[in-house]
Chains A and B, each alone.
Chain A
Amino acid sequence: MILSQASSPHAKGRMNVSQVMFTVSAATLPGLACLIWFFGWGYLFNVLTAIIFALITETLVMIIRKRPILFYLKDGSAFLTALLLGLALPPFAPWWIAAVGSVFSILFVKHLYGGLGNNPFNPAMAGYALLLISFPVQMTTAWGAPSVMPGHSLPGFFETLQMYLGFAEVVDGYTMATPLDVYKLNIAVQTQAELAMKSEFLAGWLPGWLWVSIAYAIGGVFLIWRGIITWHTPVAVLASLLIMSGLFSWDADIRVPVYLHMLGGATMIGAFFIATDPVSSATSNRGKLIYGAGIGVLTYVIRTFGNYPDAIAFAVLLMNFCAPLIDHYSRPKIYGHEKSVRGYKKEDKA
Chain B
Amino acid sequence: MTAQTIKIWDFDGGVHPEENKHQSTGQPIAVANSPEFVVVPLNQHLGSPAKPIVKVGDKVKTGQVIAQADGFVSAPTHASITGIVTEIAEYQVPHASGLTSLCIKIENQGEDEWELLPALDLNSSDEALINRIKEAGLAGLGGAGFPTNIKYLTKDTIETLIINGAECEPYITADDMLMRERAKQVIDGTRIAQKILNAKEVLIGIEDNKPEAIAAIQKAVADSGEQTISVRVIPTKYPSGGEKQLIQILTGKQVPAGGLPSSLGIVCQNVGTVAAVAEAVLEGKPLVSRVVTLTGEALGTQCNLDVRLGTPISNLLQQVKVNQKKLDRLIMGGPMMGFTLPDANLPVIKTTNCILAPTKKELPPGNLFNACIRCGICEQVCPADLLPQQLYWYSKSKNWEQLELNSLSDCIECGACAYVCPSQIPLVQYYRFAKGEIRKEQAEHEKSDNARIRFEARQERLAQEAAEKEAKRKARAEAAAKAKAAKSGAEGSAKPEISDSVKEAIARAKAKKAVTDSASTSNAPALTKEQLEAKWQNAVAKAEKAEARLNDAKENDDPMAVALEKSLAKLKEKALLAKEQLDNFQEPPDKAEPAKVVLTKEQLEAKLKAAQAKLEKTQAKFVEANENNDPMAEALEKSLAKLREKVEAAKAQLDSFNESDSKETQS
Q: Is the CB of A333 within 8 A of B385?
A: yes
Name B364's contact: one of A9, A12, A20, A118 (CB within 8 Å): A12
Which of the candidate stretches B386-394, B483-491, B525-533 sits at the interface with the other chain?
Answer: B386-394
**B261 to nearest A CB, angstroms?**
10
**A277 to nearest B CB, angstroms?**
9
Q: Write the chain B residue with the least CB distance to A280.
A: B374
**B544 to nearest A CB, angstroms?**
9
CB-CB under 8 A from A327, the residues of chain B are: 390
Name B338's contact: one of A5, A10, A285, A344 (CB within 8 Å): A10
Q: Is the CB of B422 within 8 A of A20?
A: yes
Q: Is the CB of B366 within 8 A of A284?
A: no
> A27 to B201, alpha carbons, bound, how many Å?
51
Name A332's contact: one of B17, B375, B385, B419 (CB within 8 Å): B385
Q: Is the CB of A8 within 8 A of B336?
A: yes
CB-CB under 8 A from B380, the residues of chain A are: 227, 230, 285
Q: Is the CB of A1 within 8 A of B344?
A: yes
Tell me if A19 counts as interface (CB < 8 A to partner B).
Answer: yes
CB-CB under 8 A from B368, the residues of chain A are: 68, 71
**B241 to nearest A CB, angstroms?**
15
B 326-351 binary contact with A (CB < 8 Å = 1; else 0):
01111101011111111110000000
Interface positions, chain A 199-231, Cβ under 8 Å from B, are 227-228, 230
Q: Is the CB of A350 within 8 A of B370?
A: no
Tell me if A171 counts as interface (CB < 8 A to partner B).
Answer: no
> A301 to B377, alpha carbons, bound, how many Å?
31
Q: Is the CB of B375 within 8 A of A20?
A: yes
A 1-17 binary contact with B (CB < 8 Å = 1; else 0):
10111111111110111
Interface of B is mostly: loop
Q: Is the CB of A227 within 8 A of B377?
A: yes
Q: Is the CB of B327 within 8 A of A3?
A: yes
Q: Is the CB of A17 within 8 A of B327?
A: no
Name A331's contact: one of B17, B331, B371, B387 (CB within 8 Å): B387
> A15 to B437, alpha carbons, bound, how many Å?
31
B 233-258 binary contact with A (CB < 8 Å = 1; else 0):
00000000000100010000011111
Tell me if B198 counts as interface (CB < 8 A to partner A).
Answer: no
CB-CB under 8 A from A68, the residues of chain B are: 368
Q: Is the CB of A283 within 8 A of B390?
A: yes
Q: Is the CB of A75 within 8 A of B339?
A: no
Given known A17-B373, A283-B374, A283-B379, contact A3–B330 (CB-CB < 8 A): yes
Q: Is the CB of B419 within 8 A of A11?
A: yes
**A275 to nearest B CB, angstroms?**
13
Q: Is the CB of B363 within 8 A of A341?
A: no
Tell me if A178 counts as interface (CB < 8 A to partner B).
Answer: no
Given known A13-B15, A230-B380, A344-B405, contact A115–B371 (CB-CB < 8 A): yes
Q: Is the CB of B371 within 8 A of A117?
A: yes
Q: Is the CB of A117 within 8 A of B366?
A: no
> A176 to B390, alpha carbons, bound, how many Å?
46
Interface of A is mostly: loop
Which of the candidate stretches B212-220, B423-431, B512-520, B644-652 sits at the interface with the other chain?
Answer: B423-431
Q: Is the CB of B428 within 8 A of A6?
A: no
> A11 to B415, alpha carbons, bound, how many Å?
9
Q: Is the CB of B419 within 8 A of A13?
A: yes
Q: Write the chain B residue with the least CB distance to A331.
A: B387
Q: Is the CB of B422 within 8 A of A334?
A: no
Tell me if B324 counts as interface (CB < 8 A to partner A).
Answer: yes
CB-CB under 8 A from A16, the residues of chain B are: 370, 422-424
Given known A3-B343, A10-B338, A11-B17, contact A77–B373 (CB-CB < 8 A): yes
Tell me if B193 counts as interface (CB < 8 A to partner A).
Answer: no
Q: Is the CB of B374 within 8 A of A335?
A: no
Tell me if B376 counts as interface (CB < 8 A to partner A).
Answer: yes
Tell me if B372 counts as interface (CB < 8 A to partner A).
Answer: yes
Q: Is the CB of B410 within 8 A of A336?
A: yes
Interface positions, chain B 201-224, Cβ under 8 Å from A, are none
Scoring A7, A68, A75 by chain B CB atoms within 10 A of each residue's CB, the highest score goes to A7
Number of interface residues of A (CB under 8 A): 49
Tell me if B432 counts as interface (CB < 8 A to partner A).
Answer: yes
Scoring A3, A284, A341, A344 by chain B CB atoms within 10 A of each residue's CB, the highest score goes to A3
Scoring B259, B376, B389, B429 by chain A CB atoms within 10 A of each residue's CB, the highest score goes to B376
CB-CB under 8 A from A1, the residues of chain B are: 324, 327, 343-344
CB-CB under 8 A from B170, the residues of chain A are: 11
Q: Is the CB of B342 within 8 A of A5?
A: yes
> A337 to B255, alpha carbons, bound, how many Å?
9
CB-CB under 8 A from A11, the residues of chain B are: 17-18, 170, 335-336, 363, 419
Tell me if B319 counts as interface (CB < 8 A to partner A).
Answer: no
CB-CB under 8 A from A285, the residues of chain B are: 379-380
Q: Is the CB of A10 within 8 A of B373?
A: no
**B426 to nearest A CB, angstroms?**
5
**A232 to nearest B CB, angstroms?**
10
**B548 to nearest A CB, angstroms?**
8
CB-CB under 8 A from B329, the residues of chain A are: 3-6, 10
**A282 to nearest B CB, angstroms?**
9
Q: Is the CB of B342 within 8 A of A117?
A: no
Interface positions, chain B 52-82, Cβ under 8 Å from A, are none
> A307 to B421, alpha carbons, bound, how many Å?
41
> A9 to B257, alpha carbons, bound, how many Å?
24
Q: Is the CB of A117 within 8 A of B387?
A: no
Tell me if A260 counts as interface (CB < 8 A to partner B).
Answer: no
**A148 to nearest B CB, angstroms?**
37
CB-CB under 8 A from B328, the residues of chain A are: 3-4
> A11 to B407, alpha carbons, bound, how many Å?
25
CB-CB under 8 A from B140, the residues of chain A are: none
Q: Is the CB of B420 within 8 A of A15?
A: yes
Q: Is the CB of B422 within 8 A of A6?
A: no
Q: Is the CB of A117 within 8 A of B372?
A: yes
Q: Is the CB of B384 within 8 A of A3?
A: no
Tell me if B418 counts as interface (CB < 8 A to partner A).
Answer: yes
**A78 to nearest B CB, angstroms?**
12
Q: Is the CB of B341 within 8 A of A3?
A: yes
CB-CB under 8 A from A334, the residues of chain B are: 257, 384-386, 407, 410
> A299 to B337, alpha carbons, bound, how many Å?
46
Tell me if A116 counts as interface (CB < 8 A to partner B).
Answer: yes
Q: Is the CB of A17 within 8 A of B337?
A: no
CB-CB under 8 A from A12, the residues of chain B are: 363-364, 366, 418-419, 424
Q: Is the CB of B418 within 8 A of A15?
A: no
Q: Is the CB of A8 within 8 A of B339?
A: yes
> A53 to B255, alpha carbons, bound, how many Å?
54
Q: Is the CB of B344 within 8 A of A3?
A: yes
CB-CB under 8 A from A15, the residues of chain B are: 377, 420, 422
> A245 to B386, alpha carbons, bound, how many Å?
36
Tell me if B358 counts as interface (CB < 8 A to partner A).
Answer: yes
> A117 to B663, alpha carbons, bound, how many Å?
82
A 169-183 binary contact with B (CB < 8 Å = 1; else 0):
000000000000000
CB-CB under 8 A from A20, the residues of chain B are: 373, 375, 422
Tell me if B315 counts as interface (CB < 8 A to partner A).
Answer: no
Q: Is the CB of B340 within 8 A of A6?
A: yes
> A336 to B551, alpha carbons, bound, how many Å?
12
> A350 to B375, alpha carbons, bound, how many Å?
30
> A336 to B242, alpha carbons, bound, how many Å?
14
> A112 to B356, alpha carbons, bound, how many Å?
45
Scoring A10, A17, A278 by chain B CB atoms within 10 A of each residue's CB, the highest score goes to A10
Tell me if B589 counts as interface (CB < 8 A to partner A).
Answer: no
Q: Write the chain A residue with the least CB distance to B245.
A: A335
Seed contacts A9-B418, A15-B420, A68-B368; 4 additional CB < 8 Å A-B pairs = A12-B424, A116-B370, A283-B376, A336-B410
Tell me the A residues contacting B by CB distance below 8 Å: 1, 3-13, 15-17, 19-20, 68, 71, 75, 77, 115-118, 227-228, 230, 278-281, 283-285, 288, 327, 331-338, 341, 344, 346, 350
The 10 A-B pairs with the shortest beta carbon distances in the complex, nearest first, are A9-B415, A11-B335, A336-B257, A117-B371, A7-B429, A278-B375, A10-B335, A335-B384, A9-B336, A13-B420
Can you pick out 16 interface pairs between chain A and chain B where the beta carbons lie within 8 Å of each other?
A3-B344, A12-B363, A12-B419, A20-B422, A118-B371, A228-B375, A230-B376, A278-B376, A283-B390, A331-B406, A332-B379, A334-B386, A335-B254, A335-B385, A336-B259, A350-B258
